[in-house]
Amino acid sequence: MVLTGLTGVGLAAALLAGTGNGAERLPTLAVAGYVLAYVAGGLPALRTAVRVLVTRRRLTISLLMVLAATAAAAVGEVRDGAILLLLFSLAESLEGYAMGNAKRAVASLMKLRPETATLIDGSTRRVVLAETVAVGQRIVVMPGERVPLDGVLIEGQSSVDQSPITGESVPVDKAVGDPLFAGTVNGYGALEVEVTKDASSTTLARMIDLVTEAQSQRSPSQRFSAWFGQRYTQFVLLGSVAALGAFLIFDMSTQDAFYKAATLLVVASPCAVVISVPAAVLAALARAARMGVLFKGGAALEDLGSVETFALDKTGTLTEARMRVTDVAPFGVSRSELLSLAAAIESDSQHPVAAAVRAAGESEATPPPVSGMTAVPGMGVTAIVAGTAHWAGNRKLAGAQGARLEQLVETELARLEALGRTIVIVGTGERVLGVIAAADTIRPSANTALAGLRAAGVKRIVMLTGDNAVVAAAVARELGIAASDVYADLLPEQKVERVKELRGSGTVAVLGDGVNDAAAMATATVGIAMGAAGTDAALEAADVALLSNDLARLPQAMKLARAANRVIRQNLTFALGIMAVMVVATLVGDLPLPLAVVGHEGGTILVVMNGLRLLGFGVGPARRATATGTALGERLEAA
C-alpha cells in the first residue's frame, strides 16, 4: 500500500507539473514524478516477475504489466504507462487485502487457543504455559475463561459455549464425565478438568491444521485457473508480439503499433481468471469453519456442491444411538406402577433397553426394593420385588414363565413389533402386567435436515444400516425416506457395494458417525463424518467433518457448497467475457490504455469481491445475532 501511495504521489506530481502554465517552468518535477511512479509501481512487479522467471521458469502477469508500461513510455505515452502501474499496484494491494480477509478469518482460530493454563499441583495451583501440560494432569478453568486443552470434567458443573468449535449457538450444560474442548468458553462454574490431549493434539489444533491444509489443496476449478493462467500468459506475450508485427505490416505508425500492442498486453492478461476461483474457495472454507464444518480442501467443497444422492447411516447418525421408552401398555396396573416395577427388575442390568426402562421408571416413582435378580441369556431378567417373583423380557421368557398372552396383549405386541420397537413384557408368574416398548431416539434435527437437503436440490436420500429391516423401515417412515431407498442388515463391505451401485447413477455423499462407516465414506464422491469434535479418526476419515451432532449443519454446508460453485461459474464467465470484449475492442477499435487498465483491474477486483460475498453466506436478518454472537463468528464477521 505504501508503494501504491508513492506511485500515486509521483503520477499526481507529474500531471500537475506537466500541465497548464507551469509546464515550462517545472519540467524537472514532471520527470521526477514519472520516475517515482515507474520505480514505486513497476520495480516490485518487475522483481517478482524476474524471480519467478528465473526460479520457476514461468511468465507472470506482473511481467506483462511491466512490459506494457515500458512500451507505453517508449512511444512517448509516459502518462498512460504510469496510470497503468498505479492501477495495477492498487489492484494488487486491494486483492491481497481482500484475499487476506478469508485467510485471516480462518487464522483467527489460532487466537482461540489460550497460551496458559492453571495447573493443579498437589494442594497448590499455578499458572503454566498450556503447551507444558501433559496428558493426565489436572487443570482448573474458572468462569469466563477459555478451556486451554481438551479434557474430561472430573469436578464441578457449568454451561460451556462450544460455538467456536462445533458451531452450536446455545451453551451446552456440562457435568462430571463430559468432554471439554480447547478454545471453548466456560460459563458460570469453576471446573476441574483432567487433560486428555496435549496442546498439539487438541481438536482446535487439528482444526487449524486441517483448515490450513485445505487452503493449500487445489480444487479442479483452481487447478484449471492456474493452468489457464500460466499457459495463457505465454500465449498473450507471443500474441502481442505477433500483433505488433501485423500492425507494422499494415502500415500503422510505429508509435500507434507499440501503443496498441501494449494495450493488448493489458486487456488480454488473465488476472481475473486466475484469481476468480481462489477468492470463492477460500471465502467458502472460512465461512464453513465458522459454521462448524471442516472441508478437507476445495475439491471436497466443489464435489459436495454437485452431489445428487445422499446415503446416510442410521444408528448414531439419523438416530442418537440411545434407547428411550416410546410406549407403555399396562394390563391391570397403573402406568406408573408398571414402569416402577420394570425399573426395579432391570435395576442391575447393563442392557441399553434396561437403561431406558430404568430412566422412565425413575421419572415416574421410586422403584420398590428388589433382590435375587437373575439374568436369563437371550430372554430377559427375573427378580424378587416386594417378596414376589417377577420377570421382564421377550416372548421367549414369557413362554418360559408359562404366561398366557391374551388377545389384548397379542394385539398390542403385534402393533409394536410392526413399528420396529424393542419390547419388554413384564409379568409375575403366569400373569402379564404390561408391555413396555423402547426405540432408538431419532435426532430432533433429522427431519429438518432431510427437508433442507431436498430443498437444496438433492434428488435421492438413501438409508444404509446394519440394523434389521423392521427397525430401519420404522425410522425411514418417520423421516419420510422411501421404502425402496432403505437398505438394512448390511455389513460394512455390503455398504461399500451399495455405494458403488449408487455412484453408477451420479455423485454420492455418505454421512456416517466416524470410523464405522470409513470404508463407505471413502468409496463415495464425498465422505462426511458427523460429531467429529474430539475424534481424530473421524476428522481423518472424511472429506467433510461436521464438528457437532446437529444434522442441520448438513443442508447448510450443502447450500454453501452449491453457492460456491455458482460464484465460481459467475466469476469465470465474467472474467473470460470481459477479457474477450476488451481484446476485440482493442483489435478493431481504438481503446485507450488507461481505459483498458480500468477495465482489466476493475474486473479483477469485482470477481474477488464477488467471491468474498461467501464470507457472509446464510447470515440473514433472522440469524445474524446467532451467527455473529460466537467468539469465532465475531472475528470472522469483523474480517
The DSSP symbol for 484 reads: G
**The length of the chain, given as a count of residues:** 639
CA separation for the pair 548, 532 (Å, rounded): 7
Q: Phi and psi for 122 in degrees, rounded to 5? A: 70, -120
Residue-wise DSSP of 213-241: HHHHSPPHHHHHHHHHHHHHHHHHHHHHH
Choose the catalytic residue: 313, 440, 517, 550.
313
Residues contacting residue 255 through CB under 8 Å, at least 6 positions apart: 75, 76
Half-sphere exposure of residue 18, counting CA atoms within 13 Å on the CB side? 16
User: How many CB atoms are located within 10 Å of the residue 79 CB?
Assistant: 20
What single string gives the DSSP state of each residue in 33-69? HHHHHHHHHHHHHHHHHHHHHHHH----HHHHHHHHH
Widest distance between CA atoms in the chain? 120
Q: Nearest-CA neighbor of 553 among 565, 540, 566, 544?
A: 544
CA atoms within 13 A on the CB side of 101: 23
Helix (H) or strand (E) holding 558: helix 553-588
Query: How far apart, in whole angstroms, are the C-alpha atoms of residue 417 and residue 395?
Result: 11
Residue corresponding to grid cell 497503468: 84
Are residues 508 and 309 in contact, defined by beta-carbon separation less than 8 angstroms?
Answer: yes
Q: What is the DSSP letter of 182?
A: T
Dihedral sign computed on CA atoms, order 436, 438, 444, 446 = negative
313 is catalytic: yes
What's the rounded Cα separation, in Å, for the pair 317 and 334? 35
For 496-503, which contacts have Cβ atoms below 8 Å and span 24 or more sequence positions?
496/520, 496/523, 498/311, 498/462, 498/464, 499/311, 499/464, 499/523, 499/524, 502/309, 502/311, 502/462
Q: Which residues contact 54 (CB under 8 A, 6 or more apart)?
A: none
DSSP, res 146: B
Residue 72's closest CA among 256, 248, 270, 269? Answer: 256
Q: Tell me 130's DSSP state.
A: G
3-state secondary structure of 461: strand
Tally helices (H) and strands (E) across the chain.
Answer: 23, 22
DSSP E strands, 422-565: 422-428, 431-442, 460-464, 486-487, 508-512, 526-530, 544-546
Query: Based on C-alpha coordinates, what's the Rg of the chain?
Result: 34
Give the catalytic positions in this structure.
313
